[in-house]
Structures are given as structure tokens and as C-alpha cells.
Structure 1
Amino acid sequence: MNVVNYRSFADDWERRATIRTRPRRLLEDDNKLIFPLCRQPLVLSATFLEQCPQWRDFVLVQSFYKFINDVVIFETEIVDKTARNIAKNRFSPPFPLACRYDAMTVVVDEDYHALVALDFLQQAVEMTGIQPLDLPGQIELSRALPAAQAQVPAHLHDAVELIGVAIAENTVTHDVAAFSKDDSVKSSIRGLMADHLFDEGRHAQFWTQLVRLYWQSANPHERDSIAQALPVFLEHYLTNDLQKDFDLHLIEHLEISADTRLALRHEVSALDFPITHQHPLIGNIMSLLRHSGVLQTPSVARALSSYLPAAGRSA
């Protein structure tokens, strides 16, 4: 595997990783929000605003708990696993030592992010007195990866995992950036997101480089096989079904009338985000695939043609 163009970020990590440079952040007891309103459509729905606005903070706190839970699953069960396997040379194909070293710094960062997230969860429970409801055991990526891997031969499972994790790491960077800039949210939580973003920007570049290295070494048959798995991955990764399930579960724990509960269920069930080129994360994903050289492969461009703006469908 040719690593001439691989740029290690080991020195950058030593100087700037948040695990080395950030003090513990403490949750403020102020009037700012614990979770952005724009990320929880339930509290902005007409029925909620008219019938039960007093439940806003409860819904936002529970949504914050879910966000924390999602972070922990993402960091420790998925990204950690992939990066650790690369670092320990248990990945196919194997990566050179410089890549493996950087992968281990990703493991350290991600486990630290999960630790900080759990610290904030504990602080939020203590401050609000609100216990978390039953939280999901999976995130969208938990379903998307095996669904995509099922489309390819076993020897390509690691490659599909690599590309899927790279997509997720690039989109989570976009997501966290939006969260960190919301002035309505408590300063410590925005700081938490900014810290996370600081590391994730480095991670996104790392995964992009690894996908590029892999793609350069893959033969045409392997590339074409993986191309057919990518739409399946996106279909499962970009769905909002798990969020709907959580919101419906949340509605059941509000002390409201049966009519209001039914109306809220209808409003949540009606929320849908079609997975087309206009989906807010598609541009980010296509940019990653383009920068890593994947999208320039004709079979990939054809497989993902419905996600590309008309002008880019001949790529």
C-alpha cells in the first residue's frame, strides 16, 4: 500500500488533542438550554406549543441524554472498534505503521469523548433531578454497517466498515459544528461540542486519507462490489426512524391528555426527511467520497446517481 501521500497527525495530536489540553467542564445552573430547540422538532410542533409547553425542559433533557447515549455508542462500540483493529493490525487490508499509530490516537480520543459525555450525563442528572428514560441500544450506524456489509463478499467487510466509519466521522463533524455554535445552549455544553469538534476535524481527515489509501489499492472488481453497497449504507444511515421511535417513547411519559398524546404522535410520525441529494448531510458525504477518490469510480457514481445534483450525475 503506497503511503507516499499519507500525512500523519501524530505531532499535532501531541500538541493539541483535547485529552491533553482541556480541563474538566462543569455544567452551569443557568437559564440557557441543555439541548437546542432546533434539534428536537417535538417541542416546536403546534400541538406541543399549544397544549403542553410546560414539558419543554423535560423533553430537552431527555433528548440531551439520548444525544449523550448516541455519542457513547458511536465512539466506543463502532469507531473505537474499527480504529483499534487498524492499530493492532487486525484489519484487511493491513495499513502501514504510521496509519496504525494514528489509529490508536483516535481510539484514545474517542474513549475520552465517551468519558466526558458520561460525565455530562451524570452532571445533568444531578442538576435536573430527571432520570434518563430507557435509551436506545443502537444508533443508525449500528444498522447501516451490517446492512451494507451483507451486500459484499466477506473479504470486503472491513473495507465497507472503513468507508462507513469515514462517512460517519465526516458527518458527525458537521453535526457537532452546528451544535457548538448555538448560543441558546449552555456554555459548557457548547464548549464540550467545540472540544469534540477540535478532535473530530483531525479524525475526519485521518479517515479520508485511509479511504483514499484503500481505494488506490483496491482492484476494479472490489470497487464495483463496494459501489453496490453504498446506497444500502446511506439508506440505513440517513433514516430518522430511531429518532421517531425515541420521540414516540418520550410522548408516552408526558402527563398530558389522551387527545394531546394522539395529536403529538401524529405530528412526530409525519416528520420525514427524504434521502435525496437535498438531504442536509449528503453534500458532506459526497465531498468525502470525492476527496478520497471513491466517487470518481464510474460504478460508484452510477450507484449514487440519485444522491448527486443533476450537474454531477455524469461524474
Structure 2
Amino acid sequence: MNALDYRSFAEAWEERATIRTRPRRRVEDDQRLIYPLSRQPLVLSATFQQGCPQLRDFVLVQSLYKFINDVVIFETEIVDRTARRIAKDHFAVRFPFACRYDAMTVVVDEDYHALVAMDFLQQTIALTGIEPIVLPGEIELSRAIPAALAQVPASLRDALELICVGIAENTLTDDVAAFARDDTVKPSVKGLMADHLLDEGRHSSFWARLTRIYWQAAPEHEREAIARVLPVFLGQYLTNEIQQTFDFSLIQALPISEDLRQALREEVLGLAYPINHQHPLLGNILRFFRASSMLESSCVQDALRDYLP
């Protein structure tokens, strides 16, 4: 794909974007879960179920708060920044107007997702009476993108940023989809995630197409320089460190004995995935590399050899 082949999704956005078509989601006062058990394995551990099963809902509510906090950081500090610079033609990689118009719809969507998430957080606090513990001030991308950008010349930083955001947006889409399919959670939560997914499916394709436009026009020396730092980005992006720190803070907030608290910390230490081809997010990431045509390049194949099955 080259820039002249790009076709805008403006009409689809006008007809289907959640900011155009969806009502406000109101959290229900029912017996369904506020957050999927599968996304907080701490509550499924034998130690938790034997020692403090009555605190399950507190842990799930706090986990929802972290998820919402992550969404707000991701949408407003990561995706918004890149999409806005593309839309305003302040990006080193130049794109035609159709791309820039679509980038501005991404800005609108992502800021709206953050607003909806903040609204849902306030509704949940009002319903449950549970205030959030101290939430992380950053997400994995907050570290991974700067770490990768520091390894390439200034002239390539925007191109690498485009690729990093593309990886993240394509990963998020499957993450939200799994959330939206869980029938154990409240309908409002499922609806919130289904709304988000409707927009993110469009976004993931947008970032893959822009990356494809850049990659197919990039000279080989740029491809090689970017490929070399992909493991730096993935190593930071796939880490469990921020989640682990949050889980430790959550355990500290539980009204339990110190012995049980220490046992739960040991459970958390065993939850991290290896950062290699076995990591559950790698399938989504490799699909992005294929869709963007990056995986056709031998330099990318070489750089990702530890991540390929």
C-alpha cells in the first residue's frame, strides 16, 4: 500500500462511532461481577479463596479502577499524542489529508473513551462506596516507547513511535474483545467494552495501514535501525512490573493478617508470563507485524527471532 491508495473511513465513522451512536452506560446494582475473574487471577488462587474469599468484590472493583486508569493514560497520553501530531501534519512521516482526517477522528474517539471511562469510575465509586487505592501514574507504554525512541536517531523517532502505537492499538483490540465477551460481568461493563471495541477495530486497522504506508516506502537502513530496537520496546511493553506493584499495593490494603498477606504476595510473584513467544499478547503483536508488512522484512524476522514460534 502507498499513500495514494489510502481510503478514508470517514463515512463509517460518521455512521458508527460510539460518540455518534451510543447512549451513556449506567452501572447496574445487581449481583453480576464488576470485573472478570479471569483478568485478576489473584482472586482465583487457592490462597485467596481459602484465606479471604469475602474480599473478592473489593479486589475486583480496585482492578476495574486500575483498568480504567490504564485506559485514560493510554488514550490521552499515548495514542492522542501521536494521532494529534499526524492530524495536524506535525509528524516527521508525512501523510495525505485522508490519513490526517482519520487521525483526527482517532483523537476524538480516544478522548471520548477516556471521558466515558472516567464517568464509569465515578458511577462505580458512588454505587459501591469503595474509593480507589493509589493508582499507577504510568502504564507499560509510558516506559517502553521512550526506551525504544532513545535507541534510534532523532530522524527516526516519529516512525518508531508510529509503529509502537500501532502495536499497542492492535494488542488492545483483542484485550477489549475478551472483556466484552465475558457473560459473568454486568451488562453495563460488557456494553462499555463493546462500545470501545467498535471504535478500536477501526483504529487497529488505521494504525496498521499507516505503518504499512511508511514501511513500504522506507529505505533499508531505516528499516534495519528500527528493527534492531523492537526487542527493547517489547521487553518493556510485555513486562508485568507495573501490574505486580499494583497487586502488592492492593494486597497491602486488604484487612488480613500479615502471614496471609505474604502468602498472597508470593502468589502474585508467580503470575508473570515469560517475555518470549509464550507470552499471550504475542499472537496479537505478530498479527500487526504481518498486517503492516513489517514481518516480510528479514531484518524484522531476525530481530524477533526470540518471539517467533
| Superposed pair shares fold, TM > 0.5 | yes
Alignment RMSD (CA, Å): 0.9
Q: Distance in 2 between matches of 1:272 and 1:189?
A: 26
Deviation at 1:277, TM superposition (A): 1.6
Cα displacement string for residues 108-153 of structure 1 (whole angstroms, at most 9, x for unaligned residues): 0000000000000000000000001110000011111011111111
Structure 2 match to 1:278: 278
Structure 1 match to 2:299 = 299
SS at match of 1:273: coil
Question: For 1:161-240, what aligned pairs fall within 5 Å after superposition?
Answer: 161-240=161-240
Query: What is aligned with 2:65?
Result: 65
Counterpart residue number, 1:8 = 8
Is the contact made by 2:3 and 2:95 (CA closer than 8 Å) also made in structure 1?
no
Structure 2 counterpart of 1:201, one-letter code: G
Which range moved further: 264-273 or 247-256? 264-273
Q: Per the alignment, in what secondary structure is the counterpart of residue 184 of structure 1?
A: coil
**1:112 has 2:112 as partner:** yes
Query: 1-side partners of 2:175 and 2:26: how far apart?
Result: 22
Residue matched to 2:143: 143
Percent sequence identity is: 68
- Tell me the secondary structure at the aligned position of residue 254 of structure 2: coil
How big is each residue's C-alpha offset from its partner over 1:27-46, in whole Å with a ceiling of 9 and x where there is no partner? 00000000000100111111
Residues 92-115 of structure 1, C-alpha deviations (whole Å, 9 max, x = no match): 112111100000000000000000
Distance 2:2 2:69 in 1: 38
In structure 1, the residue corresponding to 2:94 is in which secondary structure?
A: coil
Secondary structure, in 3 states, of the residue corresponding to 1:24? coil
State the partner residue of 2:124.
Answer: 124
Q: In 1, distance between residues paired with 2:248 and 2:46?
A: 16
Cα distance in 2 for partners of 1:289, 1:7 equals: 21
Shift of 1:201: 0.1
Tell me, yes or no, if the aligned pair for 2:240 and 2:273 is still in contact at 8 Å.
yes
User: Which deviations, in whole Å up to 9, do the C-alpha atoms of 1:169-210 show, x marking residues without a partner?
Assistant: 000000000000000000000000000000000000000000
How far 1:4 sits from its partner (Å)? Answer: 2.9
User: Structure 1: which amino acid aligns with 2:164?
Assistant: G
What is the rounded CA distance, in whole Å, between the counterparts of 2:279 and 2:252 in structure 1?
29
SS at match of 2:288: helix
Task: Tell me the equivalent position of 1:133.
Answer: 133
3-state SS, counterpart of residue 50 of structure 1: helix
Question: Structure 2: how far apart are the matches of 1:291 and 1:44?
Answer: 36
Amino acid at match of 1:297: S
Moved more, 244-253 or 282-291: 282-291
State the distance in 2 between where 1:283 and 1:251 align.
31
Q: Report the Cα distance in structure 2 between the residues aligned to 1:9 and 1:275, rounded to whole angstroms.
A: 35
In structure 2, the residue corresponding to 1:295 is in which secondary structure? helix
Q: Distance in 1 between matches of 2:12 and 2:271?
A: 42
Secondary structure of the 2:4 match is coil
Mean CA deviation greater in 22-31 or 284-293: 284-293
Question: Secondary structure, in 3 states, of the residue corresponding to 2:214?
Answer: helix
Amino acid at match of 1:27: V
Cα-to-partner distance string for 1:240-290 (whole Å, 9 max, x where unaligned): 111110000000010101110111111112222012222111111111111
The residue type paired with residue 83 of structure 1 is: A
Aligned residues: 309
For 1:270 and 1:182, the matched residues in 2 are separated by 24
Structure-2 residue corresponding to 1:313 = none
SS of the residue 2:107 aligns to: helix
Q: Which ranges of 4 or more aligned residues in structure 1 deviate by more than 3 Å? A: none
Q: AA paired with 2:129?
A: G
SS at match of 1:252: helix
Residue 288 of structure 1 is matched in structure 2 by 288
**Higher deviation after alignment, 270-279 or 49-58:** 270-279
The answer to whether the 8 A contact 2:35-2:60 is kept is: yes
Gaps of 5+ in 1: 310-315
SS in structure 2 of the partner of residue 27 of structure 1: coil
Q: Give the counterpart letter for 1:184 in structure 2.
A: T
Partner of 1:312: none
